[in-house]
């Protein structure tokens, strides 16, 4: 687990699960230099500086998320080298210490594990699940509860054709070239991915919506699971499925878009807003997910989604 270094110190690698509300951040990745924008990673590494590691602590993030995207459970690995004579942190001590020193209330470390020195949080992940939240029956965004703002995509429509959305989602399942659903600038060497889950389901009534409002509002969840996703693939798939639900596209057209493999097609104008997207879980073969299973407020690829 640990690698012996000079002067008797020991370097230990940990995997940490953490969550965040993405509204205030320029994505999860650290922003370097003198820019005003800040990523979640900046705050995590700032907290880690207080651990007095012999070498600077750098978080290697499992799943990168864009500005405004949230995470119920993301993951990262980091190495900590304590001075000679100091024992390594236990996972519980590390979790408590990071949370103590975190300066932003919208970030929380869930749990930590000691892992082998060659463990990699990005490449070792076998499953990533994203959740996208929709709300119907909201004619204007300002009519949405303040507690739900920036937590879902509020659609002006009163209803969705969910059966058609579910039919369209079936065309996306399996192994395909998802070029038509990736944004420009994707660094992925291959656009072939295997989508193991694509579901559309109603959510229970939000506890943050007053009874007189809940008669009009309906919340929906879209979930997608794969080992990894292309850049903004989830948000583009969501936008196309919503277009089906609103009657602007048919399930057959979704199949045609997928088979076109055209990243520059007219459908590329459709991108779901970042604020409705949550990275729900990241799984590893020997660890599973963090034992604490967080839920979306209504009761989150190696690339950005």
What are the catalytic residues?
A: 66
Task: Using DSSP, state whether 38 is helix, strand or coil.
Answer: coil
Q: Which of 216, 236, 241 lies closest to 160, judged by CA? A: 241
Residue 82 contacts residue 89 (beta carbons within 8 Å): yes
**With contact defined as beta carbons under 8 Å apart, do 214 and 206 qualify?**
yes
Annotated binding site: 130
Distances (CA, A) of 159 to 156, 163, 251, 267: 9, 12, 17, 22
How many Cα neighbours within 13 Å face the side chain of 16? 34
User: Reduced to 3 states, what is the DSSP secondary structure of residue 60?
Assistant: strand
Q: Return d(Cα 159, Cα 67) in angstroms, integer.
A: 28
Rounded-to-integer distance, Cα 19 and Cα 10, Å: 28
Known binding residues for substrate are 130
Q: Are strands 192-202 and 218-226 parallel, antiparallel or unpaired?
A: antiparallel
Q: Give CA–CA dist 72/19, Å, rounded.
A: 5
Bridge-partner residues for 71, per DSSP? 20, 279
Give the whole-angstrom CA distance, residue 296 versus residue 298: 5
């Amino acid at each position: 687990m640990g690698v012996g270094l000079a002067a008797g110190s020991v370097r230990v690698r940990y995997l940490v699960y953490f969550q965040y509300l993405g509204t205030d951040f320029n994505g999860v990745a650290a922003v370097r230099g003198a820019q005003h924008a800040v990523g979640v990673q900046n705050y995590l590494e700032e907290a880690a500086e207080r651990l007095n590691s012999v070498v600077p602590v750098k978080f290697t993030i499992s799943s990168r998320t864009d500005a405004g995207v949230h995470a119920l459970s993301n993951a990262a690995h980091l190495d900590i080298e304590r001075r000679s004579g100091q024992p390594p942190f236990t996972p519980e001590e590390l979790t408590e210490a990071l949370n103590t020193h975190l300066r932003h209330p919208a970030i929380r470390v869930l749990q930590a594990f000691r892992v082998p020195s060659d463990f990699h949080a990005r490449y070792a992940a076998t499953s990533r699940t994203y959740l996208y939240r929709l709300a119907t029956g909201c004619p204007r965004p300002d009519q949405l509860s303040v507690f739900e703002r920036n937590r879902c995509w509020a659609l002006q429509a009163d209803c969705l054709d969910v059966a058609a959305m579910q039919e369209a989602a079936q065309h996306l399942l399996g192994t395909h070239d998802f070029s038509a659903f990736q944004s420009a600038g994707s660094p992925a060497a291959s656009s072939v991915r295997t989508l193991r889950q694509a579901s559309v389901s109603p959510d229970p009534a939000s506890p943050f919506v007053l009874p007189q409002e809940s008669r009009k509002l309906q919340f929906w969840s879209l979930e997608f699971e794969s080992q990894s996703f292309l850049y903004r693939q989830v948000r583009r798939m969501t936008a196309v499925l919503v277009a089906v639900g609103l009657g602007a596209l048919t399930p057959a057209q979704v199949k045609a878009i997928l088979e076109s493999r055209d990243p520059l097609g007219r459908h590329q104008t459709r991108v779901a807003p970042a604020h409705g997207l949550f990275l729900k879980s990241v799984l590893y073969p020997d660890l599973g997910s963090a034992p604490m299973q967080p839920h979306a407020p209504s009761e989150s690829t190696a690339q950005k989604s």
